[in-house]
Structure 1
Amino acid sequence: MGDNKSAKTNQSETKFIKYISWIATITAILMYVSYIPQISNNLAGDKGSPVQPLVAAINCLLWVVYGFFKSPRDWPLVLANFPGIVFGLLTFFTAL
């Protein structure tokens, strides 16, 4: 009887972690998409600092490599950080 309760708790925790991982994925993507106004400003001549987006792109690259090569692959981690590489580099290069 105790095992059944433990199994249900474990199943609930697993479900909770899965939901949290996908919510975190969506918020991370939104965080990197928010670079778009800075990219627009950079292109319009109102340049921002290139340092933060470059560091963000490097950080995201490391997380994507980690998530892709770990076993099993951590797709929410990969998907959450891939836009950071793209938008971080775009922001960096347009700020130069």
Structure 2
Amino acid sequence: MYVSYIPQIFDNLQGFKSNPTQPLAAAFNCTLWVCYGFFREKKDLPIVIANIPGVICAFIAFLTAL
């Protein structure tokens, strides 16, 4: 799912900037899910593992879109 940010990152780096709002919202959303899965009494590692790539890719897409 978060693989779709890779072409956007490449476009941003080549000067074809995109809107940074959506990647920022996705990074925030994934961060909340990672925190939820990690800080539960019984850790929910599948949620954490599934959302860590979203945090990384979306944050990089956001930074390169600025």
Match of 1:68 in 2: 38
CA distance in 2, matches of 1:80, 1:33: 12
RCO comparison, higher one (Cα < 8 Å, 6+)? 2
What SS does the aligned partner of 2:17 have? Answer: coil
How many residues are aligned here?
A: 66
Q: Specify the code of the residue in structure 2 equivalent to 1:74.
A: D
Compute the TM-score of the two structures, normalised by the length of structure 1.
Answer: 0.67
Q: What stretches of structure 1 move > 6 A for 4+ residues in a row?
A: none
CA distance in 2, matches of 1:36, 1:83: 11
User: Identity of aligned pairs, percent?
Assistant: 59
- Out of 52, 55, 63, the position equivalent to 2:25 is 55
More helix by share: 1
CA deviations on 1:30-65 (whole Å, 9 max, x unpaired) are x11220000000000011110000000001001000
CA deviations on 1:44-88 (whole Å, 9 max, x unpaired) are 001111000000000100100010011211011001111111011
Matched, 1:82 2:57: no
Flag structure 2 segments of 5+ consecutive residues without an equivalent.
none
After superposition, where does 1:1-96 map in structure 2 within 5 Å? 31-96=1-66
CA distance in 2, matches of 1:33, 1:69: 26
Output the aligned Cα RMSD.
0.7
